[in-house]
């Protein structure tokens, strides 16, 4: 595998792997550290002559194993069924989550702020309006704008989408 090929895999898998790790360890900073460790392990393996047949599968297994080790080191009691073997469903879910967060990141700043306060933080329209010093009508307009843009960004043609974390 060339450096360029590795870079292509890195760019394609970075956000989905991060979403996968985040679901397992429930800490964004730890998830990112573990993901970076996984890429470093893969790079060293390849650099030392190792051959990886299915890079995505290799990376998901590596991230899963690093997450399990992290959780065990934190003395989290795990039932092995808590973190199943990596399969198509886990990979698809992480790619879906990455698409959702990328679409949210692409919302206009105020729109994104209102949307996240509502959906991520569970705040009411009234609480958001008070905290941001805007009217409830503005909050509702920003939410309508956010949903419209997310629907547009996440729909494949005419297929409906849903936001699983909402």
Residue-range definition of the domain harbouring residue 13: 1-105
Alpha carbon distance 117, 128 (integer Å): 7
| Count of domains forming the chain | 2
Q: What is the mean pLDDT of the chain?
A: 82
Residue 158 has pLDDT above 50, yes or no: no
Alpha carbon distance 21, 106 (integer Å): 22
More confident residue, 81 or 34: 34
- Find the CATH number of the domain harbouring 128: 1.10.10
The pair phi, psi for residue 133, each rounded to 5°, is 70, 40
Q: Do 90 and 148 fall within a single domain?
A: no
Alpha carbon distance 6, 2 (integer Å): 6
Phi-psi region of 157 (alpha: psi -120 to 50; beta: other; left: phi over 0): left
Average pLDDT over residues 121-149: 89
What pLDDT sits at residue 53? 84
> If pLDDT is split at 50, 70 and 90, which confidence band does 166 have?
very low
Average pLDDT over residues 113-126: 86
């Amino acid at each position: 595998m060339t450096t360029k090929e590795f870079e292509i895999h890195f760019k394609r898998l970075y956000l989905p792997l991060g979403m996968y790790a985040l679901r397992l360890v429930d800490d964004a900073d730890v998830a990112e550290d573990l993901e970076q460790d996984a890429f470093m392990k893969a790079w060293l393996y390849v650099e030392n002559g190792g051959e990886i047949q299915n890079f995505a599968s290799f990376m998901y297994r590596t991230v899963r194993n690093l997450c399990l080790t992290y959780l065990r080191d934190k003395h989290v009691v795990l039932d092995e069924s808590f973190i199943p073997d990596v399969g198509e469903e886990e990979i698809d879910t992480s790619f879906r989550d990455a698409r959702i967060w990328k679409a949210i990141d692409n919302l206009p700043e105020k729109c994104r702020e209102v949307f996240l306060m509502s959906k991520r933080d569970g705040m009411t329209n009234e609480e958001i309006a008070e905290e941001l010093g805007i009217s409830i009508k503005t909050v509702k307009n920003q939410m309508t704008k956010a949903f419209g843009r997310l629907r547009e960004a996440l729909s494949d043609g005419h297929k409906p989408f849903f936001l699983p974390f909402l």
